Structure 1
Amino acid sequence: MTPPTHPLVRWFLRPQPPAGEWRLRGVGSRARGRAKRAVLAGVAVVAVLVLGMNVVLDTARPEWHDPEIWHRIKQLRGETAATGSHARPLVVALGSSRSQMGFNPARMGFDDDPAGPRIYNLSQAGCGPVHEVVNLKRLLDAGATPDYLLVEILPPVLAGNGPVEKVFAPEKLGAADLPRVLPYCEHPRDLLAAWLAARVNPWYSLRISLMSHWGAGSTMPWQWRTDFLWKQMKEHGWMPYFFTEIPPGQRKEGIDKASGQYVPYFADFRIAPLPDRAYRDLLALCRARGIPVAFYVMPESPTFRGWYPPAARERIRSYYRELGVPVFDASDWIGDETMFADGHHLMRHGATAFSERFGRECVGPWIRNGGR
């Protein structure tokens, strides 16, 4: 007998699945739908967390990505608001860890003078000329425009020519910092790619800083913690050296380390284009804003000063004259090696000796002369 060929007939005569299979197929389809929706919801939550954290980092909590500078900027604004001292001229110092440890505004003799300047130490460890330009622009954008600006020069670094992308930690940069830093880079795409990689998952790239800010610092090894950057910071931004005294052997180790870091700069010493460009840009910005500028050099121990060849020292002094603004060279102010931790970072008693003299002999007369 010939089987029926009409499509409807074949459909009605098709083999039937075992009892209950229709129900299982329906259940499987619904389960897959729920799983898909769960995955999409998870992706959406992650996207919101990442996007939200990036927005917070660039608006309300910039100190989460760069604690050293942004905690200082917030402290400066808080000190101004608390004391109502807007009428007193604000002097901000930009510098490296040398200034961070050795430049103590509270010992410069102006705090008790109602008409005297307010001094603030906006220094950062590892800060070079380009960092100083970036930090000045951060300060200006935060609305804390100084009336006078002091800028530390670390003389050996005048011979350093980058590349900038190797000395900036990308996770510490905000979105607004990119146009400030990238023009100085040899390979700006490398830094941009590294920054984007850090911002794709800021919860991971900034995990140490976030945990430290959220009270979990005590759960981490002390070598990882960063909460000391703001918890040990004193008034006016000063961060004293960790110990009041150190053994001679430890000082010797520090001097040896500093020698390995800085002596190579003096081989065929010359002023490199990058730091010169950064300082010229900084001076141009300050001229445009009407901010008087002076450069200064922190004290160096007799051992450290002995590493400068005569030709390098003369070229450095010539460069100071070329800058066209005051340069306060305090490099030879302290001849006692024990006032330094490693030949160029001042101990607390060294910071007191330098700061009192610097306020009396340099900052005070400079301000009274209108920053000239």
Structure 2
Amino acid sequence: MKPSTQRPPALRLIAVVTGEHRPLSGKKEGQNPPQTRRKAPSRQSRAKRSLLGGMLLVALLHLGLAGLLETACPHWRDPEFGHRLHQLRRLQQQAAASRPLVLILGTSRAQNGLQPSAMLLGDGSSSPLVFNYALTGSPPLKVLLTLHRLLDCGIVPDAILVELLPLWLASDAPAEVVFAPTAERLSWSDLHHLRPYCADFDLLYWHWWKLRLTPWSTQRVILKSHWCPRWLPWNERVDPFWTGMTADGFMPFLYAEPTPEFRQRTCEHARREYAYAFGGITFGERSIQAMEELVAICRQRGIALAWFEPPTSPRFRSWFAAGVWERGQQDMLALAQQWNIPVFLSTLEMREEEFADGHHLLRAGAARYSQWLAEQHVRPWLTSSGLISSPPSESKSRAKP
């Protein structure tokens, strides 16, 4: 005989009153059995969800930064270009719309050597707005890319001064070699502009993609230099490229008066760097191609173009074999004549102590050279191009028989 599973009447009455009426068997009469309780997630499943969430967050952070580098924050991608772009736009907003824009393109020689404020071209509503957009380590291909970038950003200058030295035209490396050390500073549109100058475009393309997939790693030095520069050793910081820049883009040399030991070290470095050209200068095919495209863009856009030869010290020129420097100048002038481009040769006598290393001007030398170049060449060139009017005294003298 099976034992009864029903409660005694007294217990059932108490259970009904207290709301705890449950059959002894765990089943309610006339009802389905209660559902089993859901098991708590195990530690392993919680760890998996945390890992996937973290991976998704990291992917979103990389994707967001990559988007900012391509669009709103070019100064995080290429600080030299980006900070100059920001400063140039600020100057254009403050200046009168009638002021013609004159840009200086070139290498660190132009960046340290041409000071727009020392050119004394005026600050009136019709005076030219001169801005130094020269970037360090710029072979002809990078100068061309700088112009493409500016045009892509909506900056169309009225005139361009391009630094040109014969030995500068000797570069013939393909784009994937020239930009390999700084590929993380390129944008998607930069790759399009550089494609005709690549021997192996896929090499540059995939190298750029690998760097762009992890921007928090590849841009870490640039980002730290913006946000927490003191966390970096001085020799790794890049913030002097914008903190040391003046309002007109000029970058004064780091030291106003370098020590003799510093000069000796920098001169030795320059001698090693340009030793390839001491015996002879041969223009590179890609350099000529880049300059030819730059000339074509200026003609198409109606941009006045001139070349200027930056000054060098007697010691620097003495490193070249007899006649090499002069033949290089002749070849450069022949190229300019072929393309009908004015060239402003450096005939100003510069003292050795005005240079840091024989080809980078110190601050005092830069001011003297800038004023001379403007008086002797830039002002007459801009006047003949119709970008500025002749001074009243000059107009009167021309009117006299």
What secondary structure does 2:137 align onto? coil
Deviations 1:82-108 (A, max 9, x none): 23x221111001010001111100000
Tell me, yes or no, if structure 1 residue 196 matches structure 2 residue 212: no
**Superposition map of 1:243-258 within 5 A:** 243-258=255-270
Q: Would you say the 8 A contact 1:255–1:342 is kept in 2?
A: yes
State which of 118, 132, 137 in structure 1 corresponds to 2:129: 118
Tell me, yes or no, if structure 1 residue 325 matches structure 2 residue 341: yes
State which of 217, 224, 233 in structure 1 corresponds to 2:229: 217
Give 2:351's aligned residue.
Answer: 336
Matched residues in 2 for 1:334 and 1:312: separation?
16
TM-score, length basis structure 1: 0.88
Q: 1:351 to 1:268 in 2, by over 3 A?
A: closer
Matched residues in 1 for 2:242 and 2:117: separation?
17
Matched residues in 1 for 2:350 and 2:251: separation?
22
Matched residues in 1 for 2:104 and 2:232: separation?
33
Matched residues in 1 for 2:205 and 2:148: separation?
19
Matched residues in 2 for 1:108 and 1:344: separation?
20
- Shift of residue 217, structure 1, vs aligned partner: 0.3
Q: Would you say the 8 A contact 1:270–1:312 is kept in 2?
A: no
One-letter amino acid of the structure 1 residue matched with residue 140 of structure 2: P
**Superposition map of 1:219-298 within 5 A:** 219-298=231-310
Give 2:120's aligned residue.
Answer: 109
State which of 356, 360, 367 in structure 1 corresponds to 2:375: 360
Q: Would you say the 8 A contact 1:147–1:292 is kept in 2?
A: yes
Tell me, yes or no, if structure 1 residue 174 matches structure 2 residue 187: yes
Matched residues in 2 for 1:116 and 1:188: separation?
43
- Shift of residue 213, structure 1, vs aligned partner: 1.4
Tell me, yes or no, if structure 1 residue 93 matches structure 2 residue 104: yes
Matched residues in 1 for 2:379 and 2:177: separation?
38
- Shift of residue 320, structure 1, vs aligned partner: 2.4
Give 2:22's aligned residue.
Answer: none
What secondary structure does 1:110 align onto? coil
Matched residues in 1 for 2:246 and 2:324: separation?
39
- Unpaired runs of 5+ residues, structure 2, are 1-35, 388-401
One-letter amino acid of the structure 1 residue matched with residue 118 of structure 2: R
Matched residues in 2 for 1:31 and 1:154: separation?
68
Matched residues in 2 for 1:342 and 1:268: separation?
21
- Shift of residue 45, structure 1, vs aligned partner: 1.0
Matched residues in 2 for 1:68 and 1:352: separation?
22
Tell me, yes or no, if structure 1 residue 53 matches structure 2 residue 87: no
What secondary structure does 1:235 align onto? coil
Matched residues in 1 for 2:245 and 2:280: separation?
39
Give 1:139's aligned residue.
Answer: 150
Q: Would you say the 8 A contact 1:106–1:235 is kept in 2?
A: no
When the two chains are superposed, the root-mean-square deviation of aligned CA atoms in Å is 2.0
Matched residues in 1 for 2:197 and 2:318: separation?
32
Q: Would you say the 8 A contact 2:167–2:328 is kept in 1?
A: no
Rg (Cα) greater in structure = 2
Q: Would you say the 8 A contact 2:317–2:325 is kept in 1?
A: no
One-letter amino acid of the structure 2 residue matched with residue 114 of structure 1: S
Matched residues in 2 for 1:273 and 1:239: separation?
31
What secondary structure does 2:274 align onto? helix
Matched residues in 1 for 2:155 and 2:221: separation?
28
Matched residues in 1 for 2:328 and 2:217: separation?
46
- Shift of residue 33, structure 1, vs aligned partner: 3.4
Q: Would you say the 8 A contact 2:354–2:361 is kept in 1?
A: yes
Matched residues in 2 for 1:219 and 1:102: separation?
31
Matched residues in 1 for 2:325 and 2:355: separation?
23
- Unpaired runs of 5+ residues, structure 1, are 1-21
Matched residues in 1 for 2:287 and 2:133: separation?
19
- Shift of residue 236, structure 1, vs aligned partner: 0.8
TM-score, length basis structure 2: 0.82
What secondary structure does 1:144 align onto? coil
Matched residues in 2 for 1:249 and 1:333: separation?
27
- Shift of residue 359, structure 1, vs aligned partner: 1.0
